[in-house]
């Protein structure tokens, strides 16, 4: 019995030591649990903060996307307008060249017509000079002939 008691006492001491170890382990685990709970709470707070930031950014992104879309449409319209203006400028330049060519042709025609008119005036001047000389010769001949013939006297 004594040995049974000794054994039981030893068992009690051993179980007491084991219980003490388990209590220490439990205290460590509780401390670890509390630490992890605190970390979890911090992380939950960070997640909530990040979710709020994302929501805020989403609220800002939506108007920015709309503005970007409007700018894109405006850009497309401006590119289209520039292309149209370039085409019109090319057409105007082509038309200007055509008109300049037409003006040059008309200038040549006018210059040729003016030269023809000058030549016609020269010819008319020569003709007038010729006829004037013939007229003067004829007049002088007629006047000279008249002076030589006495005028008839009519008797009454």
pLDDT tens digit sequence for 39-52:
999 999 999 999 99
| pLDDT for position 21 | 93
Tokens read off for 49: 């903060």
Q: What is the mean pLDDT of residues 44-73?
A: 92
pLDDT digits (tens, 9 = 90+) for 122-151: 999 999 999 999 999 998 988 887 766 655
Instruction: Return the structure tokens found at 100.
Output: 């300049």
Tens of pLDDT, residue by residue over 8-25, are: 888 899 999 999 999 999
**Residue-range domain boundaries for the chain:** 10-96
Phi, psi of 135, deg, nearest 5? -60, -50
Q: What is the pLDDT of residue 2?
A: 79
Is the whole model's pTM more than 0.75, yes or no? no
How high is the pLDDT of residue 133?
94
The CA dihedral of 57, 60, 61, 63, to the nearest 10 degrees, is 170
Task: Check pLDDT > 60 for residue 82.
Answer: yes
């Amino acid at each position: 019995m004594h040995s049974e008691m000794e054994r039981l006492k030893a068992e009690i001491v051993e179980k007491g030591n084991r219980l003490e170890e388990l209590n220490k382990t439990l205290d460590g685990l509780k401390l670890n649990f509390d630490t992890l709970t605190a970390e979890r709470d911090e992380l939950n707070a960070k997640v909530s903060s990040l979710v709020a930031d994302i929501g805020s950014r989403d609220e800002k992104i939506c108007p920015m996307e709309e503005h970007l879309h409007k700018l894109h449409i405006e850009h497309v319209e401006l590119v289209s307008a520039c292309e149209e203006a370039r085409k019109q400028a090319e057409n105007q330049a082509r038309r200007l060249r055509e008109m300049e060519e037409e003006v040059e042709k008309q200038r040549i025609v006018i210059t040729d017509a003016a030269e023809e008119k000058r030549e016609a005036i020269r010819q008319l001047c020569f003709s007038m000079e010729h006829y004037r000389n013939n007229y003067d010769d004829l007049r002088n001949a007629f006047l000279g002939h008249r002076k030589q013939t006495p005028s008839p006297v009519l008797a009454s």
